[in-house]
């Protein structure tokens, strides 16, 4: 190495060059984002706030604690993701997240449907190659339509875990 710069043959330099670039995240998706908007949220007069995710909610809680804002007596707070961080704060964070069982079942169903559609389409291609021009006509399972149908958006249920950060709206 010369002055800290990796040389072509240097093993450490090769590892540094292979490293993936660091992903940049929106500043609002982190705890600091919640910290930054805590006062603005209060200034609106809102009695409840739904944060972008649980980390932003953590930032809101931290800043409101500094400002001596009582949660949920003065303002209720709900996070999104229902991650394990919800248990680390006082009050414990109410959060909405996916129903992981339904999410997993849906993922498996989509994967099996996709495998089946590709296998059927491959079989139809082989039948078409044998001279049967009608082997795949009109059958959606043997066309790109089947894969498009599998990729269609799905609406999945969420689960609301009510904890200590939500309560009745304050009387004003």
d(CA 80, CA 30): 12
CATH number at residue 35: 3.40.50.2300
What's the CA gap between 132 and 139, in Å, rounded?
Answer: 14
> How high does pLDDT run on average in the chain?
76
Domain that includes residue 71, residue range: 23-98
Structure tokens at 153: 């958006």
Q: Which two tokens stand for residue 147?
A: 């894969």
* The domain boundary residue, chosen from 98, 113, 141: 98
* Chain position carrying tokens 């939500």: 166
For 142, the 3-state DSSP assignment is: helix
Whether 167 is in a domain gets the answer: no
Whether residue 82 is found in the same domain as residue 40: yes
**Rounded to an integer, what distance in angstroms lies between the CA atom of residue 115 and that of residue 111?**
6
Tens digit of each residue's pLDDT (9 = 90 or more) over 71-128: 999 999 999 999 998 989 899 999 999 999 999 999 999 899 888 877 765 655 555 5
> Are residues 78 and 116 part of one domain?
no
**Same domain (yes/no): 55, 81:** yes
Residue 46 has pLDDT above 50, yes or no: yes
- What is the b/e burial string over 24-62, where b = at least 16 CB atoms within 10 angstroms of the residue's CB? eeeeeebbebbbbbbeebbeeeeebbebbbbbbbbbbbb
Provide the number of structural domains found in the chain. 2
Q: Which of 33-47, 60-74, 110-124 has the lowest mean pLDDT?
A: 110-124
What is the 3-class SS of 15-30, one letter each residue?
HHHHCCCCCCCCHHHC
Q: Quote helix, strand, coil % in the chain, to nearest 5.
A: 45, 10, 40
Residue 131 in tokens:
């001279």
Beta-strand pair 94-98/158-161: antiparallel
Shared-domain flag, residues 92 and 128: no
**In a domain? residue 17:** no
Structure-model confidence comparison of residues 140 and 98, the more confident one = 98
């Amino acid at each position: 190495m010369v002055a800290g710069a990796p040389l072509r043959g240097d093993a450490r330099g090769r590892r540094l060059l292979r490293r993936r670039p660091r992903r940049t995240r929106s500043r609002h998706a982190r705890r600091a984002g919640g910290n930054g908007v805590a006062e603005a949220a209060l200034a609106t007069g809102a009695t409840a706030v739904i944060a972008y995710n649980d980390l932003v909610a953590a930032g809101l809680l931290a800043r409101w604690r500094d400002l001596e804002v009582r949660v949920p007596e003065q303002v209720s707070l709900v996070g999104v993701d229902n991650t394990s961080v919800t248990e680390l704060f006082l009050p414990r964070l109410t959060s909405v997240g996916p129903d992981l069982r339904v999410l997993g079942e849906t993922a498996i169903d989509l994967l099996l449907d996709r495998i089946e559609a590709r296998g059927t389409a491959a079989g139809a291609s082989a039948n078409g190659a044998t001279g049967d021009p009608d082997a795949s006509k009109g059958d959606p399972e043997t066309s790109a339509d089947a894969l498009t149908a599998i990729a269609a958006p799905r609406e999945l249920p969420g689960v609301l875990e009510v904890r200590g950060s939500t309560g009745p709206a304050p009387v004003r």
